[in-house]
Amino acid sequence: MERRTIFPGWLLPVALVLPQLALTVVFFLWPAGQAIWSSATRTDPFGIHTRFVGVENFADLFIDPLYIDTIWRSVLFCVCVAALAMGSAMVFAVAADREIRFRGLYRILLIWPYAIAPAMAAVLWILLLHPQIGLIGRWLNRIGVAWDYKLNGFQAMLVVILASAWKEVSYNFIFLLAGLQSIPRSVIEAARMDGARGFFRFRTVVLPLLMPTVFFLLVVNLVYAAFDTFGTIWAMTSGGPGKATETLVVKVYRDGMVNQDIGSSSAQSVVLMLGVIVLTALQFRFLGRRSGGA
Amino acid sequence: MNRRTMLAGAAALAAAPMVVPGARAQAAKTKIVFWHAMTGANNDEINRIARDFNAAQDAVELEPVFKGSYPETLTAAIAAWRAGQAPHVVQVFEVGTGTMLAAGPAVKQVWQLVQETGAKIDPAAYLPAVRGYYSLADGRMASMPLNSSTPVMWYNLDAFEAAGLDPAKPPQTWQEFVTVARALKDKWASKSQDLMASTSSWFTWAQLETYSAIHNVPYATKANGFEGLDTELKLNGPAQVKHIQRLLDMAKEGSFKYGGRDATPDPLFYTAKAAIGFGSSAGRADIVRNAKFRWAAAMLPYDPEIMRSPNNSIIGGASLWTMTAPNRTPAEYKAVASFLQFIGQPVQDALYHQHTGYVPVTLAGYELSRQQGYYDKNPGADIAIKSLTRGTVTENSKGLRLGGLPEIRNIIYEEFEKALQGQQNAQAALDSAVARGNVVLRAFEKMAKG
């Protein structure tokens, strides 16, 4: 049954939509347009000499093996963060869905980290994992593990994935819990009476019913890992050591703000934007269809 | 809350701004804004300078604003200029000099300011090593030196004694340093996993740029970039490779620990985690404030196999650039000039030097400190100046003038960090740094030529 609201004229609908449209234009379309224009120019830091260079910035990017490395590194990072964040959230959501004591308290504690700014999450994890001043960091060194994420690229990657995923677990938890609670009890009861137990029941009955939520969260998590993790990575490792934790978004910042190469940085932004658009479009096409639309 | 109360409240809120401007109208001082990157004790000094300047005259009011690290301050200033809201004065680190010199109408160089406002600023009053870095080829000053430092070797006297070393004899050559660091590692740092024999802040500045100057080897062609934009990097020469490989070997052995980029390793020395810490002479103020052990400063070691008598070190730190803006008035420029004159006064220069550890940038300031007996009461406080005036100045030891130097330093950090993880040796790291760095130099050259 469809519900539609019919407006008598066109003035009121336009006036109602205008504020949001204005926000979208000013904060999304205009900067994006500016970035696309910038990506086709080469300019000095002060913007005094600007030259139009067409696709030269993009060409320079793709013939640079370091940039290709950064792309693969970002893909790895996004996949790991999404998997870790969604996996943990799923475990917590299933656990918190049961009738246990202090259920409300667990839920609150699991949701809290969402309110923390990305850079603060980084600071918290530094205080835990820093080889000289972090609780866990010092302990690891004491028991003989050579723990120093400022020198070891693999450890650095581990640390930023952990800190980034941690922040997103709360968001996923809320949605998965809501999704679990929207599954009719009768379906679970029926499955249980038919003899489906534990993980088997989860895999064959619960998970398929959760697919719309999972699909939605996958999109959000990948976009989060691609963009919103900048604060966390920058505060923890600044993309180092070497280039071990330099993802695409970190490179955009470094080239634009630190190295003052606006043209290349804009080109990288455009590439990142296109990449995520394509990814999201593909997801909507394939996964969206399978789960019957989000 | 009923409607009447709300209306009354709203009216009161709307009327409030009308009350305040009365108080603002009386002061007709020219206000100038100064963006800087000083932290800790040095930040307090900047605020002290502003207070003293504002108290010494009533025509100008100076407002210092802390903008973050040096790169962040430069980025902010550039963005502000593009938005037409540049500060009047900005503190730009020495490696940003190339960028600022190519800034064209965005800055007013000191000689221009002097011409326009008639201020009395004489280049000859400034220390040659300092002046040369910030002047044009013909001697006209482009920016005003404020805080100049040089790398020194801070060392922990208590740790030296604990390791059975003579605290009065810090290592003078790199070969001695290797032995000393090993002794510190075995007998002092071994007491706890937190301790390390040695580390270095500002790694690229202290261990590559200054190292090249001291040993009279080129960092880049064209007199390290002073003579032309078509300069190319030469920092992968045998002298530099030997030194970087030495540090890599020491890191593997455990007698040298890389503490991170730029000033990040600073706390390691004054919290007594590192027995020897290479760092800026300007770290003195924080060490005085925080160190709970006996310490001293020494000049950087040299390698007698490469250079029998070492040359001067190069300056670091920053200088002050005057920025333009669409609605800036001549009165504001005059105000800026009076501030620049103020900090060049011998009394102010000496005070700043003594409070921070930066060198006195004027000859008169240095002389005043000497007359006041400052160096007698604080032995070692003149290590920085001695280091800057050691040997003879050659075209390899005047400093660097390379566009995009912050990015080049970053590239070197990345390559060195890769080498520390065992992915490459010193030669490969420096070769890669040169290749990547030259790309940056060529891009800068293209842009600067317009």
Q: Is A259–B410 a contact, with Cβ atoms under 8 angstroms apart? A: yes
pLDDT reported for residue B378: 86
| B414 neighbourhood in chain A, CB within 8 Å | 240-243
Q: Is B75–A150 a contact, with Cβ atoms under 8 angstroms apart? A: no
pLDDT reported for residue B10: 67
Q: What is the pLDDT of residues A261-279, one digit of tens each?
A: 889 999 999 999 998 889 8
Class for domain A53-290, per CATH? mainly alpha
pLDDT reported for residue B18: 55
**Same-domain pairing of B159 and B303:** yes
Are the C-beta atoms of A221 and A81 separated by less than 8 Å?
A: yes
| pLDDT above 80 (res B7) | no
Q: What is the pLDDT of residues B203-229, one digit of tens each?
A: 999 999 999 999 999 999 999 999 889
**Same-domain pairing of B168 and B127:** no
> For chains A and B, what is the number of CB pairs under 8 angstroms?
74
A225: nearest Cα among A283, A161, A156: A161
pLDDT reported for residue B130: 87
**Same-domain pairing of B42 and B156:** no
**Same-domain pairing of B307 and B432:** yes
Which residue in this structure is represented by tokens 């932004």?
A269
The nearest CA of chain B is from the CA of A51 a distance in Å of 8
Identify the band that residue A288 occupies on the pLDDT scale cut at 50, 70 and 90: low
| B404 neighbourhood in chain A, CB within 8 Å | 259
Q: Considering the domain boundaries, does residue B444 fall inside one?
A: yes
Helices (H), B197-298: 203-204, 210-214, 221-224, 238-253, 266-270, 284-290
Percent of chain A with pLDDT over 70: 97
Identify the band that residue A6 occupies on the pLDDT scale cut at 50, 70 and 90: confident
Q: Is A260–B78 a contact, with Cβ atoms under 8 angstroms apart? A: yes
Least CB–CB distance from A49: residue in B260, B417, B450: B450
Are the C-beta atoms of B352 and B49 separated by less than 8 Å?
A: yes
Q: Is A258–B71 a contact, with Cβ atoms under 8 angstroms apart? A: yes
| pLDDT above 90 (res A290) | no
**Same-domain pairing of B270 and B349:** no
A259 touches chain B (CB under 8 A): yes
Mean per-residue pLDDT, B267-286: 92
Mean per-residue pLDDT, B386-394: 87
Least CB–CB distance from A46: residue in B82, B440, B446: B82
Helices (H), chain A: 11-24, 30-39, 56-62, 65-96, 103-111, 118-129, 135-142, 153-181, 185-193, 198-201, 207-223, 230-236, 248-253, 262-290
pLDDT reported for residue A8: 82
Q: Which residues contact A282 (CB under 8 A, 6 or more apart)?
A: none
| pLDDT above 70 (res B8) | no
Q: What is the pLDDT of residues B93-125, one digit of tens each?
A: 998 998 899 888 999 999 999 999 998 899 999
Mean per-residue pLDDT, B342-353: 93
Q: Is A242–B418 a contact, with Cβ atoms under 8 angstroms apart? A: yes
The nearest CA of chain A is from the CA of B272 a distance in Å of 12
A152 touches chain B (CB under 8 A): yes
The nearest CA of chain B is from the CA of A224 a distance in Å of 25
Q: B93: which strand partners?
A: B318
A130 → chain B, closest CA residue = B194
| pLDDT above 70 (res B11) | no
Binding-face residues of A in 218-247 toward B, CB within 8 A: 238, 240-243
Helices (H), B68-208: 70-82, 97-101, 110-117, 128-133, 157-162, 174-187, 203-204
**Same-domain pairing of B213 and B71:** no
Which structural domain range is residue B78 located in? 29-149+316-371
CATH no. for residue B248? 3.40.190.10
Q: What is the pLDDT of residues A236-266, one digit of tens each?
A: 888 878 889 999 999 999 888 888 888 999 9
The nearest CA of chain B is from the CA of A294 a distance in Å of 42
Q: Is B417–A240 a contact, with Cβ atoms under 8 angstroms apart? A: yes
Least CB–CB distance from A259: residue in B407, B413, B447: B407
Highest mean pLDDT among A97-111, A268-282, B235-249, B390-404: B235-249
A34 touches chain B (CB under 8 A): no
Q: Is B447–A43 a contact, with Cβ atoms under 8 angstroms apart? A: yes
| pLDDT above 90 (res B398) | no
Q: What is the pLDDT of residues B304-316, one digit of tens each?
A: 999 999 999 999 9
Chain B interface, Cβ < 8 Å to A = 71, 75, 78, 81-82, 99, 102-106, 193-194, 258, 260-261, 268, 273, 404, 406-407, 410, 413-415, 417-418, 420-421, 423, 440, 443, 446-448, 450
At residue B165's C-alpha, the angle toward residues B163 and B168, to 5°, is 135
A156 touches chain B (CB under 8 A): no
> Which residue of B97, B201, B270, B417 to mutate against A (max A Cβ within 10 Å)?
B417
pLDDT reported for residue A15: 92
Mean per-residue pLDDT, B48-71: 93
Q: Is A260–B75 a contact, with Cβ atoms under 8 angstroms apart? A: yes
| pLDDT above 60 (res B27) | no
**Same-domain pairing of B355 and B268:** no
The nearest CA of chain B is from the CA of A76 a distance in Å of 20
> How many residues are given for chain B?
450
Q: Considering the domain boundaries, does residue B11 fall inside one?
A: no
**Same-domain pairing of B86 and B222:** no
pLDDT reported for residue B25: 43
Q: In whole angstroms, what is the distance from residue A175 CA to residue A167 CA?
A: 14
Q: Is A260–B450 a contact, with Cβ atoms under 8 angstroms apart? A: no
Mean per-residue pLDDT, A177-198: 88
pLDDT reported for residue B129: 81
Q: Considering the domain boundaries, does residue B383 fall inside one?
A: no
pLDDT reported for residue B111: 94
Q: Is B99–A138 a contact, with Cβ atoms under 8 angstroms apart? A: no
End-to-end C-alpha distance for chain A, whole angstroms: 18
Average pLDDT value over all residues in chain B: 90
A133 → chain B, closest CA residue = B194
A255 → chain B, closest CA residue = B407
**Same-domain pairing of B281 and B345:** no
Q: In whole angstroms, what is the distance from residue B64 CA to residue B118 CA?
A: 24
Q: Considering the domain boundaries, does residue B6 fall inside one?
A: no
Number of domains chain B is built from: 2
A260 touches chain B (CB under 8 A): yes
Mean per-residue pLDDT, B142-159: 94
Mean per-residue pLDDT, A157-180: 93
Average pLDDT value over all residues in chain A: 88
Cβ atoms within 10 Å of B391's Cβ, excluding its own = 17
**Same-domain pairing of B172 and B82:** no
**Same-domain pairing of B133 and B45:** yes
Q: What is the pLDDT of residues A84-94, one digit of tens each?
A: 999 999 999 98
Is pLDDT larger for residue A22 or for residue A239?
A22
| pLDDT above 60 (res B302) | yes
Q: Is B193–A141 a contact, with Cβ atoms under 8 angstroms apart? A: yes
**Same-domain pairing of B324 and B349:** yes
Domain spans of chain A, in order of start: 53-290
Q: Is A242–B414 a contact, with Cβ atoms under 8 angstroms apart? A: yes
Q: Is B447–A152 a contact, with Cβ atoms under 8 angstroms apart? A: no
Encoded tokens for A84: 């870790």
Phi, psi of B260 (to 5 degrees): 115, 180
Q: In whole angstroms, what is the distance from residue B41 CA to residue B46 CA?
A: 9
